[in-house]
Amino acid sequence: MNQSVIDIKQFGRFDVDLTNRIIKRRADSAEVKVSKSEVLIFTYLAENKDKTIHRENLLKECWQGKVVTNNSLTVAIKNLRTALNEIDENNLIITEPKLGYAINGANLTHSVLSDLNDNDENLEIQALGKNPPANKLEIPKKNIDITLPSKNHMVTLLFLFITYFIGMQYFSFIDEKTINGIPVIYDGIDLPNPVVNTIKQNQADGAAKWIAYPISGICSRYQLYGVIGDNFIDYSDKIKQGSCDVS
């Protein structure tokens, strides 16, 4: 009888089941199930803890063989953070503006909650040592305020809803046109001349289809891919888009 092989990796306090896409905290067995790209993002960041991983590397490693944009990575990170918030893991993933993301190595191996509990237990032991009880002295542990994580929950859910709404509006305008008889998939807004010129100038390469994606930012830059056989060829660098950097 054939049995499927379950691929589980351990990172600090967590077990990551790559086969079933589950991130599990060993201390209390709290777990969340995420998408394939999201579990790959968590694994890649955990393998390189405390190191900023550039967005381009995450797109390449976690969506192998697929053409995706920065928007896909942004949505995946938001979904991953929302899932981790469900088990009160709010400080694992760090955003490095204009660079990428990282995982806090200290929080990966030791939680803030356990630090608080350890400090309370140490205070209780010290108090008992200084004032030995006649019979029994009970010192209640300090209650931990859980209001703040609840507020974080609401803010995260609201932001996720707004992101989802904007994404639905964006993808509802996907359109297709032809340039010199070759189909071009784009967002429905007139393509700028530099993009059109690049498609015409590279028509001899034999692309069966072109895909043009706008990159958000003040420079209105574009990503351009040509579909040649089974391959997606990036022509973005050939577009004369000015001197602004792609974010």
Report all structural domains of the chain as residue ranges with CATH numbers, in order of start. 8-108 (1.10.10.10), 175-238 (no CATH)
For residue 44, count other CB atoms closer than 10 A to its CB. 16
Q: Are 203 and 193 in contact (CB under 8 A)?
A: no
- Separation CA 197–CA 186 (nearest Å): 15
- Separation CA 187–CA 220 (nearest Å): 13
Q: What is the pLDDT of residues 53-101, one digit of tens each?
A: 999 999 999 998 888 888 999 999 999 999 999 999 988 999 998 899 9
Q: What is the pLDDT at residue 115?
A: 47
Q: What is the pLDDT at residue 157?
A: 82
Q: Is the pTM of this model over 0.75?
A: no
Q: What is the pLDDT at residue 167?
A: 57
Bridge partners, 103 (sequence order): 93
Q: What is the pLDDT at residue 59?
A: 92
Compute the average pLDDT of residues 221-241.
86
- Separation CA 46–CA 41 (nearest Å): 8
Highest average pLDDT, of 16-20, 180-184, 213-217, 236-240, comes from: 16-20
Is the model's pLDDT at 44 over the cut of 80? Answer: yes
**Which among 50, 13, 5 has a CA at the least distance from the CA of 31?**
13
Is the model's pLDDT at 186 over the cut of 90? Answer: no
Q: What is the pLDDT at residue 1?
A: 43
**Who has greater pLDDT, 243 or 209?**
209
